[in-house]
Homo-oligomer: A and B are copies of this chain.
């Protein structure tokens, strides 16, 4: 079997879902956006050696790729629909491609998406770009702009776990349930799709935490023309992270990145309803601070004093939009 045929066979497994008029196999996919819906798109790249360690199992790469990409759809409160994949591989290797494609198809199905097209090319560095397409009722996409002074800042789940999971891979620890939990959080992020859809009508602004809470919150503040105060001790950390990395947990929760949790700006009177709605989905939603008219982002300690020397909005190379 040639490489061409291998690639075709691997990716043809993907199911053809709703709205797919023409899927894989033509020059383009032809898609039907339902009346009353807007199209929401985002493209996300993973590069071996930059975003995941060389030798990461192919299934973990597939889960991480889709988790990260679909998290942007969740941030817009969109429903995942379609996926295209640009895959650059050092070689056409069935031992890598087959488990990757199987995991991609499985995860795409779980997330309600169908793979509708792609481009597989040869290149020295394993590089994957996923473009995800979602749908949202007209005018209801959740944006970064719209946060208002007096809003409360809510975050879903716990933060810093992904950074902890990476640490356990870089500097291995004896494997126990906590280590496995952090690695799962790193490799298999769970985009908060249902939560965002449920809360969409109650939320002023939102985004997903990919660069770290402080960096991403700064994006929201800039887009909304406001400032914020964050109470450091309120930022939720998992017990696993606190046990394994007590010295770093708090810092990683503020700046670690790639947790793909949501950060939402909500009117004070909506907080209780949002927390209750999240609870019904089994998701913790924690108030970590508030939006201020005064610009800038201030992190306060338990005595209300500014915490200095935090990495805020670090100037990394990665820019997503």
Binding site for B on A (CB under 8 A): 2-5, 7-8, 21-22, 24-33, 35, 38-47, 49-51, 72-73, 75-76, 78, 82, 84-86, 88-89, 92, 116-125, 127, 129, 131, 133-134, 136, 138, 141, 143-145, 207-208, 223, 315-321
Contact = CB atoms under 8 A, between A and B. Distances in A.
The quantity of this chain's copies bound in the complex is 2
A25 B223 contact: yes
Contacts of A30: 38-40, 76, 136, 141, 143
Task: List 8 A-B pairs, minimum CB-CB distance, nearest first.
Answer: A47-B123, A86-B129, A27-B75, A2-B315, A28-B76, A125-B125, A122-B317, A31-B39
B124 A26 contact: no
A124 to B, nearest CB: 5
Given A27-B72, A317-B92, A121 B51 contact: yes
A196 to B, nearest CB: 10
Interface centre among A76, A223, A315, A321, by most chain B C-beta atoms within 10 angstroms, is A321
B25 A38 contact: no
A121 B123 CA distance: 16
12 contacts: A3-B315, A26-B144, A27-B76, A27-B144, A27-B321, A28-B75, A28-B141, A30-B136, A39-B39, A41-B82, A49-B123, A119-B320
A219 B72 CA distance: 35
Contact of A141 (B21, B73, B82): B21
A117 B47 contact: no
A315 B75 CA distance: 41
Contact of A318 (B40, B43, B121, B144): B121
Contacts of A29: 40-42, 321
A182 to B, nearest CB: 23
B88 A47 contact: yes
Contact of A50 (B122, B133, B143): B122
A318 B129 CA distance: 16
B119 A44 contact: yes
Contact of A319 (B42, B46, B119, B131): B119
Nearest to A210: B27
B25 A321 contact: yes
Given A7-B319, A28-B42, A45-B121, 11 more contacts: A21-B141, A27-B72, A27-B76, A28-B41, A30-B38, A32-B138, A41-B131, A45-B129, A47-B121, A51-B121, A120-B317
Nearest to A138: B32
A207 B25 CA distance: 11
B134 A131 contact: no
B41 A321 contact: no
